A and B are shown apart, each in its own frame.
Chain A
Amino acid sequence: MNFNNKIFNSAAEQKFFSWYRRFFSIEEIEQSSVLHWVFGAILLGFYVTFFRWNDSSMFTVEAVKKGTYICWPFFQNCGNWYFLSNLPYGYSQTTLYMFFFVAMVLIILAMWQKEWVAAHILMMILFIWEVSAMLLTMAFSANYWYFHLIYTFVLLFLSSKLFFLRFFFVLFYFLAGSVKIHEGWILGTYFTSLETGLPIIPNILAPLITNAVLFMEIVGSWFLLSNRAALQRVSLGYFLVFHLYSGILVNYTYPTIALPLLLILFGPLNSVFPPFDKKAILGWTLALALIIIQLLPRLILGDAKMTLEGNKFGLYMFEANHQCISTTKIYLKNGTIEESRNESASARARCDPYRYWFPLKQTCKRKAADVERMSWQFDHSINGGPFYRIVDAGNVCVLEYQPFRHNQWILLPENDAPIIGYPVKNFYY
């Protein structure tokens, strides 16, 4: 508390810092070397996250003007809130992220000086921006940012920080397991429908590997919390290899966010008793909320892997291998027709009809004076299966997207979506 005592030395200021320290349970951080390391790992997560966002134009005024932005289905007018400009149009975004860079450097200094209240306040600024940005654009909805957001929330806001960090880390594996309960993972076709197959391992072993992942995420992950050293070490070793192996596909961001925390939280063999005091209610409520949110897509009619409705509300990483073809015809009032065809063969590009509908709808609004109607056909294949024509709309401009229930204009393969062909093997990129 030296830093606070020197600079903020009035009685009111000292009272505030005392309350802040108590309210956010900062004493736990001060007393735990594991939490010191966690603080550093979370900070590293902020660095890799903002490194990516700093360079993105998806959350800028220009993205709104060009119609390239994407809002969440439950907040479709998010563009009204955009205020940043990225290069070459302006300096505001890079200036803001340099401010955050300074905050990160100051956090390192505060950690070094053991000024945990100062470090906490500075990280709170980063966290508030992370939440705001993730709400204001759907472009930052990668699952590793969901993880980072929750871990940061636990570290900053909850009491019994060490227990809940360990618990939520395992809960995420468990929830991610539910995403994979689908033919693509049970048969292994997610990977065998890729031209390049599974990395390193022969395709013939794909079903064994994918079902092993399912078992470890649903059952084996909980052994990370076990008091039995052998079980705990087997589970830790498995997930260590899992993150290194999956990094071959997903690149650096996910392993950078997950691996250090895995080693810090589960490397030391110690058990932490679950808290049941009043302060722990927030942590347990968050756990319950995450489980409910994860199951939300199951309550929406149709296979979320095909319709993508509600898909991003919970974890969705590696839910299916996608390919799609989107064809639009714009009928202009002057009698001309503009046709465009957009195809995606990247396994991880989600082929979400909403992701295609949103910019088309913006075009309808922006060019209302010129556009008579806009027809749209959307064909989607998952895991090397048939291409189903899941959208065949005469006029996109009259379609609305409901975020929490099935949209009738998205056709379901089991009902009325026709098969229009079969895909060749695709790629993960």
Chain B
Amino acid sequence: MPKFEENFSDSKEIIVLKKLEGNSSATLNANEKILAPYADGLKTAWWILWFIVLAVLVVKFMKLFLNRDK
């Protein structure tokens, strides 16, 4: 693993070069490129799933609470 200074001196130089190229997506691999156009949609889908799971849990625990003495 390079030392801090070595890595930084490299990065400084390439920051300028990449700025001229003006596109960081070149670093994406094949699978990432397939998903990249749908990233925002997937993000929304994951959030929807997260809240659905939360809602299901709340409902399940509420049911258990309401039926606790039965």
Within 8 A of A (CB), among B11-70: 11-12, 14-16, 18-19, 21, 23-24, 27-32, 35-36, 39, 42-43, 46-47, 49-50, 53-54, 57, 61, 64-65, 68
Does the CB pair A218–B46 fall under 8 Å? yes
Among A174, A181, A323, A420, contact of B46 (Cβ-Cβ < 8 Å): A181
Q: Does A125 make an interface contact (CB < 8 A)?
A: no
What class of interface size applies to chain A in its complex with B? 35 or more
**Known pairs A186-B42, A219-B49, A343-B8; A387 contacts B15 (CB<8 A):** yes
Does the CB pair A208–B31 fall under 8 Å? yes
Residues in B whose Cβ lies below 8 Å from that of A426: 7, 11
Q: Mark A146-157, 1 if CB is under 8 A from B, else 0.
A: 000000000000
Among B29, B43, B65, contact of A182 (Cβ-Cβ < 8 Å): B43
Does the CB pair A423–B11 fall under 8 Å? yes
Residues in A whose Cβ lies below 8 Å from that of B23: 422
Does the CB pair A192–B27 fall under 8 Å? yes
Q: Does A353 make an interface contact (CB < 8 A)?
A: no
Does the CB pair B8–A188 fall under 8 Å? no
What class of interface size applies to chain B in its complex with A? 35 or more
CB distance from A216 to the nearest CB of B (A): 12
CB distance from B33 to the nearest CB of A (A): 9
Q: Does A314 make an interface contact (CB < 8 A)?
A: no
Among A208, A384, A421, contact of B27 (Cβ-Cβ < 8 Å): A384
Nearest residue, chain B, Cβ from A385: B24
Does the CB pair B31–A174 fall under 8 Å? no
B contact patch SS: helix
Q: Does A203 make an interface contact (CB < 8 A)?
A: yes
Among B4, B11, B61, contact of A274 (Cβ-Cβ < 8 Å): B61
Residues in A whose Cβ lies below 8 Å from that of B28: 187, 189, 192
Residues in A whose Cβ lies below 8 Å from that of B8: 343, 345
CB distance from B23 to the nearest CB of A (A): 8
Within 8 A of B (CB), among A404-425: 419-425
A345 to B54, CA, bound (A): 36
Q: Does A214 make an interface contact (CB < 8 A)?
A: yes
Does the CB pair B64–A276 fall under 8 Å? yes
Residues in B whose Cβ lies below 8 Å from that of A421: 15-16, 18-19
Residues in B whose Cβ lies below 8 Å from that of A219: 49, 53
CB distance from A217 to the nearest CB of B (A): 10
Does the CB pair A186–B11 fall under 8 Å? no
Q: Does A301 make an interface contact (CB < 8 A)?
A: no
Nearest residue, chain A, Cβ from B9: A343
Nearest residue, chain B, Cβ from A342: B8
Within 8 A of B (CB), among A80-96: none
User: Given A187-B32, A187-B39, A345-B8, 10 more contacts at CB 8 Å?
Assistant: A174-B50, A181-B47, A189-B28, A192-B27, A222-B57, A274-B65, A276-B64, A343-B12, A384-B27, A386-B24
Nearest 6 A/B pairs, CB to CB: A422-B18, A421-B15, A421-B19, A422-B24, A181-B46, A343-B8
10 contacts between A and B (CB under 8 A): A174-B50, A182-B43, A218-B50, A222-B53, A276-B64, A291-B54, A421-B18, A422-B14, A422-B18, A424-B10
